[in-house]
Structures are given as C-alpha cells and as structure tokens.
C-alpha cells in the first residue's frame, strides 16, 4: 500500500513539471508582450512630456501678456548678443537684456531678475557684473522642453564676454524663441557701450530703433522692440508670439551649435529669436524636427522641436497650439507677420 501511494505521488510530480519547449514558449510570449508594451509606454511618456512642454510655453505666453497689460507693450528683445539684462535700465528699448529676461518678474522670478542691480542705470560696476554672471548661470525649468534636454546650465564656450557681465563657463539656455517676424535673421552684437545703445549707435539698420521702435521688423519681440497690442493689426489669434526653436540634435548639451551658444537672458540673437521668413540667398525654410548633424545656416531662423508630430507655438491671445511640420509655408510666414493684412485660413495650421 505504501509503495503504491509513493509511485502515485512521483507520477503526479512528473505531470506537473514544465517541459523545455513549454518554458521557451512562455518566455517567447512574455518577450512579445514586452515588445508590444514598450512602444506604448514610450508614447505615453512622450505625450506627458509634450503636455509639460506646452504648459511651459503657456506660462511664458501669460508672462508676456501680463507684461503688456502692466507696462503697455510686449517684452523688448534687448540689444544683442553681447548684452545681458540690467534691471536698473527699465523695460523699454533702453533695456539690453532679451525678452526672456524681461519676462522674469512675471514668471515669479523677480529675485533672479534683480541679481544684476547696482542702482546705477548708466554705468557698469563690479557689483552688476558679478550679479549678471550669477544670473546667466541660473537655469529655469520653464525654459526647457523635457523631450529635448534636462534643466541644467550648459557649457558656454564663446571667447567673448557680455559687456555688462563677468565671464561665466556655463549658461542657462532656452528652448523657446520669440516670433521676430518674417523679414529674416540678421545677426547683431549690439552697441559697444551703454551711451551708444541709448543713442541707437551700433545696431543693424533693420533693427535700429531711432525714432521708430517697430523699424522694419514685423514680429512681436525683437531687437529694441516695444510692440503694443494695438500694433498687432492682424489679430492676436492670427499672430505667433513665441514657440519652440529648431536645434541640432547632436549638440543639445555641448554649447557648440551656433543657434544655441548664448545664454537665455542675452539680447536679441538667433538663440532667442526666430523668423517665419528668410531674406537670404535661399527660399524660406519650413519648421522642422531636430536633426542630428543638420548644419545649414538657415537653421538659425527656423522654428522646430524635438517632437515627432509638430512644434508648439504660443499665439498673442495666450493660446498654445501644436503646429504641423507640414504647415503651408505661406500661412506660416503670415502668422509671423503681425500687420500684413492678409487673410489666414485657420484650417491650415
């Protein structure tokens, strides 16, 4: 009796064991399920990153609109590459810092905005230069697209230093650029002194403000700009305010890309301003997804993003939309011009 039960138990144990084939089948099925699930997880993560990116641009748009409501004009674009923000010089075209710098108080970053203050608007002191250097090295998460890169200070490899700052080796960057119109990019270092800047000396003729701040630029925030809401005659729902800029995907973290080698708080430059038209030797270029190794000079003017399905643009009414890379180029150009008077079909963007 005992032997019979023992044999029965051994037989049952054998019947419950997996064969090698069954084990391989189970492993294969698990592998297939993981392969099917992984893209869905990645898509969900990218969707979450896009929501966060859109929220960042929304905050920036609201800051610019609040600036306009309180001060009477949108943030000025500043003086050019060789200048950073100075709170003592106020918010007008006398302000050397760029539009991102001028948005800081409305992004709950007033302490950062005030770092270069020395109480003297018409001179540059060591106190100001030291504060400006600290400011330039301070990144803000609201300026970074999470699909592209983390919020960290990145290498500043230029051998020149802004006129009103001490040297710094790393700098905050922005993944968002102002709409500066459809007239095309023109590089500018800016004036060589505060006095020259106040007198309009040292600016590119197309950006020279003189007695006419809007000059020849057709966008909303650009070199020495003071664009008012009433200046947007095409309507706020039909005019870009700011959006994601194209970058070379190989150089997100290196500081080498010529369109991403300046700090976030510098004056008007292709790092902080983009255009919907290009007046060089080539035709206007469409907005594109970030491409590794793409080094055409036209990229300095382009909007774009790290997202595969489009790029976010904030409009002058405060709304933010995902725009397709395949947008009609004429529609894209018109959205960059605040006052051309041309009709835009909303179904085409």
pLDDT interval class at 142 (50, 70, 90): very high
| Structure tokens, 105 | 């108080």
Confidence check: pLDDT of 3 > 60: no
DSSP string of 312-343, one letter each residue: EEEETTS-EEEEPTT--HHHHHHHH-SS----
- DSSP letter for 239, please: S
**Residue 175 confidence (pLDDT) above 90:** yes
Judge whether 7 lies within some domain: no
**What's residue 24's pLDDT?**
78
Average pLDDT over residues 109-119: 97
- For residue 255, being part of any structural domain is answered with yes
Residue 5 lies in a domain: no
**pLDDT exceeds cutoff 60 at 12:** no
- 241 near 64, Cβ under 8 Å? yes
Q: Is residue 6 part of a domain?
A: no
Asked if residues 259 and 245 have their Cβ atoms less than 8 Å apart, the reply is yes
Task: Please state, in angstroms and rounded to a whole number, the distance separating the CA atoms of residues 163 and 116.
Answer: 13
Q: Is 24 or 291 the better-scoring residue by pLDDT? A: 291
Contact 186, 304 (CB under 8 A): no
Q: What letter would DSSP give residue 311?
A: E
Angle at 79 between CA 138 and CA 69, to 5 degrees: 75
Q: Which residue has the tokens 């032997």?
A: 3
Cα gap 294→248, rounded to integer Å: 6
Would 12 be classed as within a structural domain? no
* 16-20, 162-166, 215-219, 228-232: segment of lowest average pLDDT: 16-20
Chain segment 324-336, per-residue pLDDT in tens: 999 999 899 999 9
Counting beta carbons within 10 angstroms of the beta carbon of residue 95, is it exposed (0 to 12), middle (13 to 18) or buried (19 or more)? Answer: buried
CB 154 within 8 A of CB 255: yes
CA 66 to chain centre: 19
* C-alpha Rg value of the chain to the nearest Å: 26
The residue-averaged pLDDT of 283-291 equals 82
- Counting the structural domains of the chain, the total is 1
Q: Which two tokens stand for residue 138?
A: 């301070």
pLDDT of residue 176: 97
Angle at CA of residue 344, ends 180 and 217, nearest 5°: 20
The verdict on residue 13 lying in a domain is: no
CB 141 within 8 A of CB 172: no
Please give the residue range of the domain that contains residue 64.
Answer: 18-348
CB 251 within 8 A of CB 148: no
Between CA 37 and CA 220 the distance in angstroms is 44
Over residues 183-225, the pLDDT tens digits come to: 866 567 888 999 988 887 777 655 444 433 445 688 999 988 9
For residues 11-35, average pLDDT: 71
Assign 36 a pLDDT band (cuts: 50, 70, 90): confident
| Confidence (pLDDT) at 150 | 94
């Amino acid at each position: 009796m005992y032997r019979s039960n023992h044999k029965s138990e051994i037989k049952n144990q054998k019947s419950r064991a997996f064969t090698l084939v069954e084990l391989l089948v189970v492993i294969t099925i698990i592998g297939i399920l993981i392969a099917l699930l992984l893209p869905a997880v990645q898509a969900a993560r990218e969707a979450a990153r896009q929501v966060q990116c859109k929220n960042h641009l929304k905050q920036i748009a609201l800051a610019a609109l609040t600036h306009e409501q309180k001060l009477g004009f949108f943030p000025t674009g500043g003086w050019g590459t060789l200048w950073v923000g100075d709170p003592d010089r106020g918010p007008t075209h006398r302000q050397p810092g760029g539009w991102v710098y001028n948005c800081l108080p409305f992004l709950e970053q007033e302490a950062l905005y005030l770092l270069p203050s020395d109480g003297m608007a018409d001179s540059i002191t060591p106190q100001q230069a030291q504060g400006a250097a600290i400011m330039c090295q301070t990144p803000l998460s609201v300026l970074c697209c999470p699909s592209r890169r983390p919020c960290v200070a990145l290498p500043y490899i230029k051998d020149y230093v802004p006129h009103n700052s001490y040297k710094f080796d790393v700098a905050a960057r922005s993944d968002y650029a102002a709409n500066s119109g459809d007239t095309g990019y023109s590089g500018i270092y800016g004036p060589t002194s505060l006095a020259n800047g106040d007198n309009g000396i040292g600016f590119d003729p197309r950006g020279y403000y003189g007695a006419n701040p809007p000059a020849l630029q057709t966008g909303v925030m650009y070199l020495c700009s003071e664009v008012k809401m009433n200046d947007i005659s095409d309507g706020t729902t039909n005019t870009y305010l700011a959006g994601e800029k194209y970058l070379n995907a190989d150089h997100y973290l290196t500081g080498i890309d010529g369109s991403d080698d300046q700090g976030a708080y510098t004056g008007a430059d292709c790092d902080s301003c983009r255009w919907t038209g290009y007046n060089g030797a080539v035709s206007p270029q469409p907005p594109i997804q970030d491409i590794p190794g793409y080094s055409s000079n036209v990229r300095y003017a382009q909007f774009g993003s790290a997202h595969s399905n489009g790029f976010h643009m904030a409009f002058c009414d405060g709304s933010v939309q995902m725009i397709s890379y395949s947008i009609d180029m004429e529609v894209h150009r018109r959205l960059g011009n605040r006052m051309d008077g041309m009709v835009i079909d909303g179904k085409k963007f």
